[in-house]
């Protein structure tokens, strides 16, 4: 059977400069683009040559199924995610659908094109916060039970990991960030630096430095366009930059 090609494309934080040439090439080669409206409209080359399948929040599996159908029908399809498609992105739903369809690993061809994830773009804007071991935790409990997220927050806090929080707060989920902060305060001083990056590399970009005592979402806008980076016991602020030294010995 003449099956098509499925690209899983991470488009980076939002501006053209941080879209990799490989991602741009995969998008240009594709006949169909699938993703959130905001992202596919940003990267569509020429709407007359490409069919855009935009989706709303919550339609991920449906759109993944559509992309897989199109690829089985012989089309070249790009499923786009912000940042990296493999980090809280569309790669998950797509591989889930491929598994359900008993995909043979050969046709359609599936290729993931890595992108610059929010943790990288946020870290770049903040300074060098990710210089020791770090972890990413999504505070969204839409797909993961909150108890499980709390276990991970506790483990990260106890293990002195720098923690990057994705999906920190939405209009409906307003308590999770406060709970996360409370868990970290059990293990780290209130003065622990926290970096807050909203809309990295987009026109609305805002970068702020705070600490665990002030991270209550009152003074700062923290929403679904924001990534929060909590420092470890070695992290400090120097001239507006959040710095985690490369080695534990450096801060003496």
Residues that bind ligand SAH (CB under 6 A): 13-14, 81-84, 87-89, 117-118, 122, 166-167, 197, 199-202, 224-227
CB-wise, 60 or 84, nearer to ligand SAH?
Answer: 84
- Asked if 153 and 184 count as a contact pair (C-beta separation under 8 A), the reply is yes
In the complex, which residue's CB is closest to ligand SAH?
83
Closest contact distance (angstroms) between CB of 97 and ligand SAH is 18
Query: Is the Cα torsion angle 113, 223, 242, 163 positive or negative in sign?
Result: negative
CA gap 176, 193 in Å, rounded = 19
Q: How far is the CB of 89 from ligand SAH (least distance, A)?
A: 4
Q: How many residues does the chain have?
A: 252
Taking the complex as a whole, the smallest distance from the CB of residue 245 to ligand SAH amounts, in Å, to: 24
* Cβ nearer to ligand SAH, comparing 184 with 225: 225
As a whole number of angstroms, the distance between CA 64 and CA 79 comes to: 8
Cβ proximity to ligand SAH, 43 vs 197, nearer residue: 197
Report the residue number, 117 or 176, with the smaller CB distance to ligand SAH.
117
Q: In the structure encoding, which two tokens stand for residue 75, read together?
A: 């089309």
Task: Count Cβ atoms within 10 A of the Cβ of residue 233 and give its class: 0-12 exposed, 13-18 middle, 19 or more buried.
Answer: middle
Name the minimum Å distance from CB 150 to ligand SAH: 18
Shortest separation between residue 179's beta carbon and ligand SAH, angstroms = 17
Dihedral, CA of residue 213, residue 243, residue 123 and residue 95, to nearest 10: -80
Closest to ligand SAH by CB, 98 or 125: 125
Report the distance separating Cα 158 and Cα 138, nearest Å. 17
């Amino acid at each position: 059977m003449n099956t098509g090609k499925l690209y899983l494309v991470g488009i980076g934080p939002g501006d053209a400069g941080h879209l990799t040439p490989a991602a741009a090439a995969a998008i240009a080669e594709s006949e169909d683009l699938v993703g959130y409206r905001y992202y596919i409209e940003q990267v569509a080359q020429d709407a007359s040559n490409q069919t855009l399948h935009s989706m709303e929040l919550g339609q991920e599996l449906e759109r993944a199924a559509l992309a897989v159908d199109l690829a089985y029908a012989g089309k070249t399809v790009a499923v786009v995610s912000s940042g990296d498609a493999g980090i809280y992105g569309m790669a998950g739903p797509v591989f889930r659908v491929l598994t359900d369809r008993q995909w043979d690993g050969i046709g359609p061809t599936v290729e993931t094109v890595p992108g610059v994830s929010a943790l990288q773009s946020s870290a770049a804007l903040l300074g060098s916060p990710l210089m020791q071991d770090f972890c990413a935790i999504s505070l969204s409990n839409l797909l993961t039970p909150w108890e499980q997220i709390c276990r991970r927050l506790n483990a990260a806090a106890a293990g002195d990991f720098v923690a990057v929080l994705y999906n920190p707060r939405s209009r409906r989920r307003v308590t999770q960030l406060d709970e996360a902060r409370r868990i970290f305060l059990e293990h780290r001083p209130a003065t622990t630096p926290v970096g807050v990056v909203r809309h990295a590399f987009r026109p609305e970009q805002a970068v702020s430095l705070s600490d665990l005592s002030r991270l209550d979402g009152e003074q700062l806008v923290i929403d679904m366009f924001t990534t929060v980076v909590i420092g470890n016991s070695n992290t400090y602020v120097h001239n507006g930059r959040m710095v985690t030294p490369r080695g534990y010995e450096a801060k003496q």
